[in-house]
Amino acid sequence: MKIGFIGLGNMGGPMARNLRQAGHEVVGFDPTAAMPEGVTMADSAAGAATGADVVITMLPNGAILRDVAGEVIPAMGTGSVFCDCSTVDVESARAVAEQAKAAGLGALDAPVSGGIGGAAAGTLTFMVGGTDEAFAKVEPLFEIMGQKAVHCGSSGAGQAAKICNNMILGATMIATCEAFALADKLGLDRQKMFDVVSTSSGYSWSMNAYCPAPGVGPQSPADNDYKPGFAAELMLKDLRLSQQAAEAVDAPTPMGELATKLYAHFVEDEEGRGKDFSAMLPRLARQSRDQG
C-alpha cells in the first residue's frame, strides 16, 4: 500500500518505520520530528495524504486531530481510509469519522496500548472503532505495527476502550504504589510483598508486568530512575479524557475521578512531569498519611 503518516514523534516514528521495513511505501509529515529511515518526507499533511490508500495520524489531542483532518481529508481519494491512532476524546473521533464519511472515505479511530517500546518492537495493541470494511483494509497494517487489533465497534468505540482501559491502569497503579508504601512502613520487604501479591488476588498488570518498585519484578522504568515508558502527564491526559466522557454520559467513576486528581497534583504541583507514571511510588513512600 501507499501510506501517508502524519505525526512521527516517539510513537509515530517507529510505527512508520515498521511499515516501511515491511515493504509499504510511506510518505510522512511532521513539522518538528525527523523522518524515519526510508520514509519519504512531504512538505505538508495534505501532501502526505495525496494518493495514499491509508492515512495514519498520531497526534497530541482532539483539537489538532480536527485541524489535521480538515486539511487531509479533502486531499484523499474516494475509498481510502483515514486511520487515527492518537488518543483523543470520543466526540472528536466521531466528528472526524463523519467528516471522512461525507467525503467518501473510510474512517477508523485506533488508539494504541504498549508505549514507546511496543511501537519500536511492533507489539502494540490497537483498539479500533469504525466500519467492517475500513477495518479489513487496515488490518494488515495493524498486524505489522502490533500484536493485536480488536475491532471494538462503530466510530468512537476505539477511543472508548482506550480511556476505559487507562482509567483502570491509572487507578491500579496508584493502588499498587500505595501498597508498597504501606508495606515499607509495616516493615515488609518489597520482594516478599511482590512474591505474595504477584501470585495472589492482588495480581495486576501494574504489579506483575510494570512493577513500580526498583529491583523487584521484571525490568521496568522504576529500574531506570523512573524515566518514562509512559509519562505521568500522558496518564493524566488519558484520565482527564475518561472523566470528560463519564460526565458526558452521566457515569459514576469515583475511583477514576480520584486517580485524576492525584495525577494532576503529582504532575502540575509536584515533580511528576517528565517522570514515568509509576513514580507515584517514591512520592507516596516519603509522605505521611495526612499528606496523601
In the annotation, is 162 catalytic?
Answer: yes
6: enclosing H helix or E strand: strand 2-6
If one counts every other C-beta atom within 10 angstroms of the C-beta of residue 62, the result is 22
Of 2, 137, 162, 237, the active-site residue reads 162
Nearest to residue 114, comparing CAs of 127, 103, 101? 127
CA distance 237 to 183: 29
Which positions are catalytic? Answer: 162
